[in-house]
Chain A
């Protein structure tokens, strides 16, 4: 088979994997070697769906011997199959990297024969890259559930980031939709990777022998949203505990896209993109804005509001803490103002030391007041025309969201929300979320 055909098959099979970041590790260039990494990562292009492409994202093989219901590559599907040789893959990566097409490689795979054999093939491709081609750029490998610890270690010291897909937000759903996997087959290697990364840190503090570092950019995971009945409340609680107990760097969400038809899968016609977007916003609040999951969502309202973002939602639920006086409130409170980001809050703190800030000054600081204006005062007064009343603020923010959707910024996403109350499997969902929450927490601890 031609390399071009292989690439087509194996990129197509990998495209549903969402994690495509090259961030988390700053490794300076080494003389005589090709490549460097920057901790913020660099997006090299954007595909037609608006997603950043930073890594060559492919599968080693899509000839999978498992049969996960939601996956295109399941063995019962009649699709063309292909497998890269380690050398083909290494050469392709180098060829792209030299031309500044990519930051590195994101390698995943279907289960070729068995997990260990698959991992050996992946290790060999990456070893070629590192040793034979002197490649010093970014590599993210997706570990295959069920791989032996010995092989995981071998893989871990070759790559920058490792991830395992937790796939679905509860073990019940996982068992139902991915019959060859179990919670343990995913969680055991995730724990193993966590411990490997921890050893790095200990090594560093005691500065013992320099050894190859295990996944220095940390671990991440991904789960499919909308293929199973869990609520946003459950999903966010699960990701909060993944951050806490497994010390993950990122939890990615992937809006469920119906690629197969199966009686076990919900009948949806469009991916729940807006829901995915809101989950990411909530995730962002937890990672960068010091929000606790309980502040974002609670059991009595287990789904995020599609019309306003979770930060606005929080602010409206805590309207007694507002308005926030820009010249006085502490940094932590600035971070809680809708529409003000980490950078903006930092600039405000800096600038207000020098002089007291007015609304027009915020523009100079490059701080947008589009949403913030409803929640702030400058020297005691509101922005012109702002009516400080929760109901009217909600309407204004929701109107703004609606008009944005009409303009196609979140094409088709809102209509989905309006047309579909959760279907099929999903309808059982919200009803018994507390029981499921109890089930879910021990699962990952």
Chain B
């Protein structure tokens, strides 16, 4: 089956990588960028950089306008409407750390924070360390055989002691949607705060934070075909009001004396220092580009590619998939073959996939594995990319098995 991507030519790096004989299938780590983003960056730097929210001069006004336009576009992208605010951070990781520090005063010893067994380190370690600082209990929701959070167990483990639930929407290892509506409802029934790690989820389909009803939703621009060094934290107004200021300096201050200071509310109060201005502006360009695509066609293309990938792997002897991946990516191991050896030989053949623990060591340990190979897809991939991957895989396995 031939599955060309009608959007491939919009991403100039794909052709450049192909000229270097590289097939890029590590999109869950980071993505290539559309021409629209490159144009926006060039335009900003070529026409006058300026700091935002500070200067009264014209370049400053232009930069601030473009910067705030992106905030508006992100609000629309998540359909946040009037229910909350968008705070820019330096990535999903820094957004989650902002939450773990900003909410610290909300917890008392013995309170419980609930996460799941599949969390990326970025949505595990900030909570684990908070639990250690404040003598809280970190409760870990188990998964079923398909890699989905077990709702029966969750119903038992989410209790009146639960003060916060932080779960991933889509695992970066297992590629399965998590049952967020049910989980969030359980947490809300006990008045717990809810945090959704949308780092992978936001890349596939459109999500509506008002429908989801979470207090916080975080993602990284660079995984959504945007520039790096930039993350997004959506917070509902009531939830943001519970955050204490975390990092200090710059325009986040309202009034400062030598001995004390007062701070602005969200969003600016949580954007200490000069933000990644060019990246914010360029994310706006990426969102414009994405908003103009036929979303149904993108999803159908990604689903068809994913089916091809899963089918191809299942046809081969000795390959074990982790969980039951539904979309976006597949992680697998091969019986009797060390994943480092397979990764080595795929690299030799110009196949860019990820090997290792994927920043989810406890999850991999739960599978009894030290590592796995992950193939992850983006809208610009096509069936020829997968063909090249399978040819390389067969050659590698022939040598190794």
Mutual binders A and B: no
